[in-house]
Amino acid sequence: MGQRVILHVGAMKSGTSYVQALLHANRQLLAERGVLVPGRTWSDQVRAAQDVLGMASARTGDISGCWDRLVEEIVAHDGTAVVSMEFLGTAPKAVIERITNEWDDLTVVVSARDINRGLTSMWQETLQNGRTWSFAEYLRGARDSRPRPDRRPEDVTTAGKTFWRQQNVVRLCRNWSEAGGRVVLLTVPPPGASRNVLRDRFLSVIGVTPDGLVAAPEANESIGASSAQVLRRVNELLDEAGLPSPAGQHLRKTVLAKTVMAARRDAEPAIGLPVAPWVEAHAATMVARLQDLDVELVGEWSDLTPVEVPGTDPAAIDGTEVAEAACAALAGLLAHQVAK
């Protein structure tokens, strides 16, 4: 049996894609140092997570046994094994208990970034997944639905519920801690910090040095404010046409958003967000509750202090800029299809 298992479960949009890219880019070198990254590719870990979560569907194909095979590969390894899959962060308690019972020496890593940056990145993610909330609707939903003692059932909106399901870091840590796992809270450094800071923090949990590791491939998956408005309208039109998400998921997310629109991000205003008083108050409460849980901190509590996201309110974007982004998106999508 592997001596240690490191399970990185998010939260979503907290450097998870970077960590996964880093692990798989250095899979062979890590193996030489006694660290197993199970699965031949990252997709193997995706399918294993979907399997244990009961997410089988026509889209996933037959994933039965994928989790068991992942566990078997780890059990056969005499050393440390690392799994990184944010799908597992919000797993039901029964699944969490099953996972924590798989191994005797399990460290669960919950990564987190400041809430204000999370709001802008999560809104983009909802658009890429076919949602149609405006930025203002999404922010109101997150504000009104935030975890607090005086929250009423009528305060909870679908948009807000979607955000807090992925970003309630206190709940993520508490659920995994109550199941008996050793929980490490890994904070994402503030803007301007080298990506190597997050790398070195994660590697310190594994117990390896960065010497000789290659850099993770750059991921350019965020989109600008103009393209965000275009994508939201595209989703509305697809809904009206009877093609709601996940219909065309690969084309609209992987190709249109993450490839075509992301490529012109620097040509558009970024999505900006000042720090609202409720965000600042919630962040302070969140840190206090995490400290009460006595989680092991890798990073700094100050990393969770909300910071302003420079940029523009998408609703303030001029119609001409939105039209230009729409034309560029159409041309890029056509070019991709013609080149296939």
Closest CA to 88 of 80, 100, 77, 79: 100
Domain count, the chain: 1
Range of the domain at 294: 4-114+166-218+274-306
180 assigned to some structural domain: yes
322 assigned to some structural domain: no
Q: How many CB atoms lie within 10 A of CB 319?
A: 9
Q: DSSP for 170-204?
A: HHHHHHHHHTT-EEEEEEPPPTTS-HHHHHHHHHH
Q: Report pLDDT digits (tens) over 98-130.
A: 999 999 999 999 999 999 999 999 999 999 999
Mean pLDDT, all residues of the chain: 95
Task: Give the domain CATH number at 23.
Answer: 3.40.50
* pLDDT above 80: residue 5: yes
Per the CB < 8 A criterion, the answer to whether 286 and 200 are in contact is no
* pLDDT above 90: residue 221: no
What confidence score (pLDDT) does residue 1 get?
42
126 assigned to some structural domain: no
What confidence score (pLDDT) does residue 57 get?
79
What element of type H or E holds 43?
Answer: helix 42-52
231 assigned to some structural domain: no
Alpha helices, DSSP H, located in 215-276: 225-240, 249, 262-263
Per the CB < 8 A criterion, the answer to whether 112 and 187 are in contact is yes
125 assigned to some structural domain: no
* pLDDT above 70: residue 285: yes
The tokens 């987190």 sit on which residue? 112
211 assigned to some structural domain: yes
183 assigned to some structural domain: yes
328 assigned to some structural domain: no
Predicted TM-score (pTM) of this structure: 0.94
